[in-house]
A and B are shown apart, each in its own frame.
Chain A
Amino acid sequence: MSAEEILNEDELYRRFPDVFWLRDDGRISSAAFQNTPNTDDMSVDLARLTTPQKTAAVYPGCGVASFLAELPRKLGQQVLHDPIPTNSAHSNVRGKKTKPIRKKLAEGSKVVLLSTNLK
């Protein structure tokens, strides 16, 4: 599958283990928005090519947060579609995730699925 252009209006899904990263006040911890160790990328799914359930199903105990592609771009990050054999929606938010950037990503995200809703 070839890579698609991701528009600012496109929604992105970020899978996260909600038992660890969902705070008691219902907000997502900024810890949920880190790059994969030893990379410059944070994996997300392009929402129009998947569903929250599919994104969450990869790993037990995970919920799904969503944000618009415009948000990381405004923070100086690149958003690139990067399909892989097991996930055509796979994309990357590329760039260093400083503490202020992680915090802004957390503030601009909303929870669309909790792991408890999958049981």
Chain B
Amino acid sequence: MPQPSNGLREVLLVEDDDADADLMVEALQEGELALQAVLVKDGEQAIDYLRRQGAYVGAFPPSLILLDLHMPRMNGHEVLAVIKRDEALRRIPVVILTASDNEKALGDAYDLHANCCVRKPADQEQFALVVQKIERFWLRFNQGP
């Protein structure tokens, strides 16, 4: 998989909520690994980024995708389905990160081959810790494609 010229692995955040996005970027920057966090704010932008279309022609394939479920234009389930049906994208691990506790929505995400689903804690410190644990497991212990 090609890497950015700075050698840092990329994490793509797909999140429409500014406060949550800021917190996630900061938590990743303070985490134990050097990485580059890239933020897009809706599902259509996420697909453009991953397919290097439109404004994202020079984009690199991310090592990990953190995907919210409730988003404008194209929701998380739709984005997930597109990624996991696309031969060029389907191996990239997708972590669903959502405030939803709707069992059906989470079960549907697993059926669409989300690699895992994680609930966003309401408490900000806990949320940052969860983001760092995601980073630690997926980028340190997991063998990516």
Do chains A and B interact in one complex? no
Give me the interface of A with B, judged by CB distance under 8 Å.
none
